[in-house]
């Protein structure tokens, strides 16, 4: 892989789509990882589909925003 120190995970897009769009994608993808469960406080919340989040440990399923559970 190439150097992605500045652009992070969006380095896979290369020079396509523009810097602003890649920045938005980067913020969404960074925010989508490792959310804590409100019930067991374990960082195991996973996105099942748009707006539906499920805890991998206790099995709590809840509705939230599309890319963040809050």
| Alpha-carbon span 67 to 52, nearest angstrom | 9
pLDDT tens digits, 29-69: 887 777 889 999 998 888 899 999 999 999 999 999 888 88
The dihedral over CA atoms of 30, 33, 38, 42, expressed in degrees to the nearest 10, equals: -130
Q: Which residue has the higher pLDDT, 45 or 70?
A: 45
**Which structural domain, as residue segments, surrounds residue 2?**
1-31
Q: Under the phi-then-psi rule, with left for phi > 0, alpha for psi from -120 to 50, and beta for the rest, what region is 26?
A: alpha
Q: Is residue 62 domain-shared with residue 51, that is, in the same domain? A: yes
Q: Which two tokens stand for residue 56?
A: 């991998």
Q: Is residue 15 domain-shared with residue 43, that is, in the same domain? A: no
Model pLDDT, residue 49: 92
**For position 49, which CATH number holds?**
2.20.25.30
What pTM was estimated for this model as a whole? Answer: 0.61
């Amino acid at each position: 892989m190439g150097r992605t120190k500045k652009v992070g995970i969006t380095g896979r897009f290369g020079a396509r789509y523009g810097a602003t769009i890649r920045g938005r994608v980067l913020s969404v993808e960074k925010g989508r990882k490792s959310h804590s469960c409100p019930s067991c406080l374990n960082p195991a919340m996973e996105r099942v589909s748009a707006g539906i989040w499920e805890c991998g440990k206790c099995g709590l399923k809840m509705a939230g925003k599309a890319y963040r559970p809050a």
